[in-house]
Amino acid sequence: MPKLRFTLFGTFGASTEDGAPLSLGGKKTNALLAYLAAAPGRSFRREALAELLWPERFEKQSQQSFRQALSSARKLLGDAASILRDTEEGALTLDASQILTDVGTFERLCASPHMEDRKTARDLYQGDFLATLGPISEDFDHWRLQTSTHLKALAVELFESIAKADQENGQLDEAIETARRLIDIDAAHEEGHRLLMRLYLAKGQRSAAVRQYEACRLALSQQLDTVPDAETENLLAAAKTVPEPVQAGFEAPPLKPSSQAAKEQETGAPNLPPANLKSPGVLIAATILLAVVLWTLFSFFAPPKKTNSFPESAQTEVATPAPLTCNAPRQLRDISKPVLLLLPTHTFGDDKDMQLFGQSTTEAIQAMSSVLTDLTLVAGPRVGHPDRDLPPRELARKNAATQIFETTITPDPDGQRITMRIVDGTSGRQIWQSTFTDKDPLADAGHLQNEIAMRAAWGIQEQITEGTQALFHRQYEPESFAVFELVTKGFGYLGEIQPLYNDLARKEFLAALEKDPSNPSAHAGLGFTYLSPLIFRWQTGHPGDLARAEQEARVAAELDPAYAPAQNLQALLLLFKGDHEAARDKIDKGLALSGSGADSTAFGGFVYSYTDNPRRALELATRALILRPYGTPTWYQWSYARALRVSGDPQGAINCLKQVDFEAAGTIAPALEMILAYDTLGTTSESKAFVDLIMDRTGGTFSAEGYCASPAYSDPAATHACQAALVRAGLPE
C-alpha cells in the first residue's frame, strides 16, 4: 500500500493510506508537491524547481523561497516526509513506490481492455488537471495546461467509448449520464452531442434531442466558429418528425457547458442529476436548471499557441465593461459601484437539512461579500420565483445589476458538489467559476460555509472590484477565517479614504496580527493606515506615524520580498523622504511583482508625477483606471488628473476633477489639484470656492509650502512653482 494518495484532478489534495486527508500549505508549496507527484520517481534539480516556481525573483531569493517551501512541505507530510528524497546528484524526487495518484491510475486504466477498469478510470476524472491551484508562474501554468489538454483528450475518448458500449448493451440511462459528462469536458465535441441526441431519441425524448442540438450549435459557434455538420442536422430533422410521447419517470437534462481549460484555475460545471416527473415541483426545478445552465454556454475555449517547450497559457474571453475614466460619462446608471445580484443558493433534491444548509450558505456569502466596500449587494429572487427563469441579461436589467452571483449544491458520487459562478449582466456570459466537492457538507457545516464564503469573496474581488490586486491579499491563505475577514475588512476601510475609516482599518489589521503575526498583508495594511494621513492631508496624523509606517513596510517586505503592496508602501515612504530615484526603483519593482494590480499601477502614477517623467505618470494613471473599471476610488481620479496636469493637459485635469464630489471627498488633494490646474491656464478666479473649502477643512492651518514640499518634486523649480500657484490663489504661504 502506498503511504500517500495524491488527487490531481480538480482540487489538489493528499491523504494517508487510511484515507485521512492532509492539511496542505500555501499555493507555492502545493504547486511543488503537485509538480513532483505528477512525475513520481523523476528527479528534478533544485535550481530548476526554484526557477519554475519563482521566476520573477533573483537567484538567491528564489532558492531561499524554494528551501522554505520544501521545509514546509516536509512538515505538512509529517510521518510520510520520507517520500521526498534527495538524490546523489543533489536533485529532488518523490518516491514512486510510496505514492499513488488519481492521474497515474486514470492513465493506466484508460488502456485496460476491461470495461470495469475503464469505468473506474471515468469516475476518477473529476475536473481539469490541478484546476483550482491558481496561477503559479508562466512556465508552470504552461506545463499544467499541456498536461490538462492531454488528459482531457484521453477522457473524451474514454467517455465516448463507454457511452457507446452502454448504448449497445441497452443501458440507455447510464449511457446518457456518461455522455453528459463528456459534454461537460468538451462542449464542442460534436460526436458527443450526436450521441446524446441518439440516446434521447431512443428514449422517445425528442424535445430533449432538439435542445441538445441547440446546445451543440451554440458551442460550435462560440468555440469553433462553425456550424453542425449534415449528420447532426439529420438527427435534428428526425427529432422534429414525430410528436414526442410522454414518459413518466424521465426528465430531459439541462444544457450544460464544458469545464473550461481557458479557466485553468477552475473546474468544470456540475453534473446535474435527472429529475423525476413524479416528484412535486419538478417542472419548476427543471425550468430553473435550464435557466441556470444556459447562462454558462457562452464561454469558449481558446486554443494555446505552440512554443518550444510549453504551450502558451490559455486565454479567456470575458465581457469587459467600458472603463470608468475621468473623461467619460459614468457608466451604470450614474453610479460608481458595481451592483451584484446575489441569488439564493440552489440545492437539488428534497433533503430538508441540505436546503437549510443552502439558506445559511447564502447568508454566509452575503455577510462576507458585504465586507467588500467597493460593491453594492442586492438580494436576488429565491428558488421557484418566476424571475429565476429569466435570461441573465434580462434578470440583471430588471434588478439594475451589473453582475449575477449564483451558488448551486448538487449530489455527487463523492458527496455534494458546490459550484459558484459570476455572470456578466451585460453580455450574459460567465466570467468566473469555482467548483469543489465536499464528502459530508453537514458534518462541519460552519467550516464549509466559511470556505464557500471566502471563495465567493475572492471571486468577486478578482472579477468585479479589485482585479488581480485582490490576489495579493489572499495569497498567504490564512488558516483562520477570522484573519481573512479582518484583513479584507481592513483593506475595504482603507479604500473609503476617510479618517474614521482609516482608524477602523487600523483596528482590523491590529486584530489580524494578534491572530497571525506573520501575515505580510496585515503588516502592509497597517503601514498604510499610518501613511494615509500624510498622503490625504488629514489632521489626524502624529509625529511618529511615518516611522511606524516604515517599520510595518519593512516587516512586510522581509516576510515576503515578492509582496507588491509592501514595495508600494516603501516607494511612497521614499517619495515623502525626497529620495525620488529610490522611490522610482521601488515602485517599478512593485509594478513588476503585481502584474495588473490596479492599486500598484495607480501608486506608480502618483510617484512618477513627482519626477521628471510625466509621460510615465500619465501612462500608469490611465492604466489604473482601465484595470479597475468599476468603483474607481477618488484618489485614482485625483492621481489621473494630476498626471494630466504635469504632462501638459490642465484642461483635461479640470474636466476630470469636475466629476469629483469635493464636499464628500475624504481628502483636500483634488481641490488643490484643481487650483493648480486653473493656475496653469491663468484663470485663478475660478479657484475661490476651492480655497474656501480647503481653509474650512483644515481649520485655517493650511500651508502652501508644507503641501508642496511633502512630497517635493524632483525638480526644485516645480516645487517652488507649486507653492507660488497656491499663494496666488489666496492660500496661506
Burial class (CB in 10 A: 0-12, 13-18, 19+), 214: middle
| Domain residue ranges of the chain, discontinuous segments joined by + | 339-463, 471-729
Ranking 5-14, 129-138, 518-527 by mean pLDDT, the lowest is 129-138
pLDDT at 348: 77
In this prediction, what percent of the chain has a pLDDT beyond 90?
24
Average pLDDT taken over every residue of the chain? 78
Is the pLDDT confidence value at 160 over 50?
yes
DSSP three-state, residue 342 = strand
- The rounded distance, in Å, linking the Cα atoms of 712 and 501 is 27
Burial class (CB in 10 A: 0-12, 13-18, 19+), 265: middle
Is the pLDDT confidence value at 314 over 70?
no
pLDDT by residue (tens digit) across 353-411? 787 788 778 877 876 665 565 677 777 888 778 888 888 888 888 878 889 999 998 88
Is the pLDDT confidence value at 1 over 50?
no
Q: What is the DSSP string of 471-523?
A: HHTTTT--S-HHHHHHHHHHHHHHTT--HHHHHHHHHHHHHHHHH-TT-HHHH
Is the pLDDT confidence value at 210 over 80?
yes
Confidence of residue 551 (pLDDT cuts 50, 70, 90): very high
Is the pLDDT confidence value at 24 over 50?
yes
Rg (CA), the chain: 28
Higher-pLDDT residue of 319 and 437 is 437
Q: What is the DSSP string of 148-190?
A: HHHHHHHHHHHHHHHHHHHHHTT-HHHHHHHHHHHHHH-TT-H
Of 382, 400, 387, the residue nearest 346 (C-alpha): 382
The topology (CATH level 3) of 471-729 is: 1.25.40
pLDDT at 608: 94
pLDDT by residue (tens digit) across 602-625? 899 999 999 999 999 998 888 787
- The rounded distance, in Å, linking the Cα atoms of 660 and 474 is 31
- The rounded distance, in Å, linking the Cα atoms of 449 and 631 is 27
Confidence of residue 527 (pLDDT cuts 50, 70, 90): very high
Per-residue b or e along 597-635, where b marks 16 or more CB atoms closer than 10 Å to that residue's CB: bbbbbbbbbbbbbbbebbebbbbbbbbbbbbbbbbbbbb
pLDDT at 287: 37
* Long-range pairs, 189-196, Cβ under 8 A, ≥24: 189/156, 189/160, 190/216, 190/220, 190/228, 190/229, 190/232, 191/160, 192/156, 192/159, 192/160, 192/163, 193/219, 193/228, 193/232, 194/231, 194/232, 194/235, 195/160, 195/163, 195/164, 195/167
- The rounded distance, in Å, linking the Cα atoms of 228 and 194 is 10
- The rounded distance, in Å, linking the Cα atoms of 63 and 466 is 31
Is the pLDDT confidence value at 563 over 60?
yes
Ranking 167-181, 372-386, 661-675 by mean pLDDT, the lowest is 372-386
In this prediction, what percent of the chain has a pLDDT beyond 70?
81
How far from the centroid of its chain's Cα atoms is residue 292's Cα?
21
Higher-pLDDT residue of 367 and 104 is 104
pLDDT by residue (tens digit) across 115-147? 999 999 999 998 889 887 778 888 888 898 889
Confidence of residue 426 (pLDDT cuts 50, 70, 90): confident
Sign of the CA dihedral with 97 first, then 98, 101, and 105 last: positive
How much is the average pLDDT of 22-37?
84
pLDDT at 271: 39
Is the pLDDT confidence value at 181 over 50?
yes
pLDDT by residue (tens digit) across 41-87? 888 888 889 888 888 777 777 888 888 888 888 888 888 888 888 87
Is the pLDDT confidence value at 328 over 70?
no
Sign of the CA dihedral with 485 first, then 491, 497, and 501 last: positive
pLDDT at 335: 39
Secondary structure element (H or E) that encloses residue 124, with its range:
helix 115-124
**What pTM did the predictor assign?**
0.48
When the candidates are 3.30.1490.20, 3.40.50.10860, 3.40.50.970, 3.40.50.10070, the CATH number that belongs to 339-463 is: 3.40.50.10070
- The rounded distance, in Å, linking the Cα atoms of 679 and 674 is 9
Is the pLDDT confidence value at 159 over 90?
yes
| Helix 138-168 with 115-124: angle, nearest 10 deg | 140
Of 613, 636, 557, the residue nearest 589 (C-alpha): 557
How much is the average pLDDT of 703-714?
92
How much is the average pLDDT of 705-714?
92
Q: How long a stretch of residues is the chain?
A: 733
Ranking 59-73, 176-190, 470-484 by mean pLDDT, the lowest is 470-484
Is the pLDDT confidence value at 330 over 60?
no
pLDDT by residue (tens digit) across 260-275? 333 333 333 333 333 3
pLDDT by residue (tens digit) across 453-476? 878 887 887 777 765 455 544 444
pLDDT at 114: 92
Confidence of residue 91 (pLDDT cuts 50, 70, 90): confident
